[in-house]
Structure 1
């Protein structure tokens, strides 16, 4: 069976992470630098998290079934959370190892050789991380993006380590090594926290402001005259799949066939402009009411009861509300009450 693009990418990440970990471990054995050991420890976590990410990509690609009607995409949030937790633990272990230096000082060896090895790993990690983030956005895949961000973090921390090693090389101050290790530990702990936070946000269906802005902008640009209003707009993400539901206000005199056609048109519009594995839309249709007349753009409406006054723009402020915009407490409420 042919492997998907996601699986091939994660296999590449896993293979390169294993190779770079071996190089960093060899560099530590040659130099006895705690900072290099800290970097190698983080790379070991890279291997574990890459394996978790690869498995989660496999699960997320499984089709929907009776027990998982929305698919298996949310497993990616568990993967990101596990990755963040492991990174956080690695950061704590790095800090503990750095503090041990002050109890048992040491001298570095073969520093030039170690510097060249670490420079090599930093360059490869930087290229790999940038590639994973770019491909993760193209697919899109939260797991691949998360793994790419993690590897970029590893590349940046390795770059900081390289600067510290160069400073030690030219100054002879070995005490910089544990200080650099503490810095790496703090950086790793911070990154682990953010990944765990991102995982919790996804599992709790926290709103994605960037995605909402993207979809609302699409709706506003392609707004039809007979789409009187859209409100109670919500998006849930399951891996690279989206579940979207909203309320669409149409003229109350439309036939069922006309309502169905407008529903399908709106659904197709969203699917064409959202690059995702699958976008599922549930659109609840509301009939218009007299209070809709002042912002209804159907100027030749045969049942209009009040004159058109203004076009209310479809912005995130209004679209997310679970009510018609004229019912919001913005000064239009008094006008709406007068129409009852």
Structure 2
């Protein structure tokens, strides 16, 4: 799968390089600061694509003594780097737009620029959709992040084309720096979003969607494993395409060690089987049951039950994430 990701990102890098050249050709034809802004953003596509190639290469390396959880965290560095580059490009674009508001150069050959930017916009749109779809299928945040950036480039190019058409037919040259400034703001926003995603991953911010998926899997199968009295203190960390989950599981205190191991292994196997596209590593701490567990314990043939069964407590974020046993 890693080799496929590398092929896709290398294709993206090659196409981005060609489109960047085309945009600079359009700038030299027209002297439009809006087209220059678009070309500057495309340079970031190329730089970020190169870094993405390296991050995907590292992600594919196996775990070792220095990296016991693998190398997947580098993907968050990748999208953070790309976000920072996009943010810097946005600042430069706003600065250049300000200069052109003060001193507006004569625009030339707008028609040539329109056709060139239209071609690059269509190519970027198709490439961005392909990368986002591939990232979703391969569970690669690097491909998805790169695709989202390229889609932003394509959408901003549509506004640029509209402005160039208006300038071509009306001669309103002030639209050129105005559109450039609008593109700069849009680019700044996208850069911030990618950096925010990067920081969240590096700080191990909990992905509640994944937590809900794991809880859902356990809820669907808990009737097959009545020894699973409760699950709590769950924490989820993402390492590229893999997840590390640690949690506490309450089991009957009298179970033999071999049976405890089987119950824990069953839980791990179920989540790995149903959380498709991800490798999930568990670290599970086993807690013994206590008398207050009896009212919601579904092990009806328990030989040491001290209180009759009353009701089942559904597992949700509210009782699975905190570090406390479930009580009736």
TM-score, normalised via structure 1 length: 0.93
The one-character-per-residue Cα deviations of 1:53-104 (angstroms, maximum 9, x if unpaired) are 0001001111111111111111111111111111100000000111111222
Correspondence for 2:16? 17
Is contact 1:232–1:246 with CA below 8 Å preserved after alignment?
A: yes
Correspondence for 1:87? 86
The one-character-per-residue Cα deviations of 1:248-282 (angstroms, maximum 9, x if unpaired) are 11111211111111111000011111234532111
CA–CA distance in structure 1, aligned partners of residues 325 and 242 of structure 2: 28
**Superposition map of 1:199-238 within 5 A:** 199-223=198-222, 224-238=225-239
| Unmatched segments (≥5 aa) in structure 2 | none
Q: Give 1:3 shift.
A: 7.3
RMSD of aligned Cα (Å) = 1.4
CA–CA distance in structure 2, aligned partners of residues 177 and 235 of structure 1: 48
Correspondence for 1:198? 197
CA–CA distance in structure 2, aligned partners of residues 162 and 231 of structure 1: 55
How many aligned positions are there? 326
Q: Give 1:325 shift.
A: 2.5
Is contact 1:242–1:276 with CA below 8 Å preserved after alignment?
A: no
The one-character-per-residue Cα deviations of 1:12-53 (angstroms, maximum 9, x if unpaired) are 110010011011111111111100100000000000000000
Between 1:244-253 and 1:50-59, the stretch displaced more is 244-253
CA–CA distance in structure 1, aligned partners of residues 209 and 162 of structure 2: 36
Correspondence for 1:123? 122
Is contact 1:129–1:149 with CA below 8 Å preserved after alignment?
A: yes
Between 1:265-274 and 1:163-172, the stretch displaced more is 163-172
Displacement over 6 Å in runs of 4+: none
1:318 aligns with 2:319: yes
Between 1:274-283 and 1:3-12, the stretch displaced more is 274-283
Match of 2:238, SS state, is strand
CA–CA distance in structure 1, aligned partners of residues 318 and 324 of structure 2: 11
The one-character-per-residue Cα deviations of 1:97-139 (angstroms, maximum 9, x if unpaired) are 1111122212221112211111111111111111111111111
Correspondence for 2:172? 173
CA–CA distance in structure 2, aligned partners of residues 318 and 109 of structure 1: 66
CA–CA distance in structure 1, aligned partners of residues 9 and 278 of structure 2: 18
**Superposition map of 1:119-198 within 5 A:** 119-198=118-197
Is contact 1:225–1:298 with CA below 8 Å preserved after alignment?
A: yes
TM-score, normalised via structure 2 length: 0.96
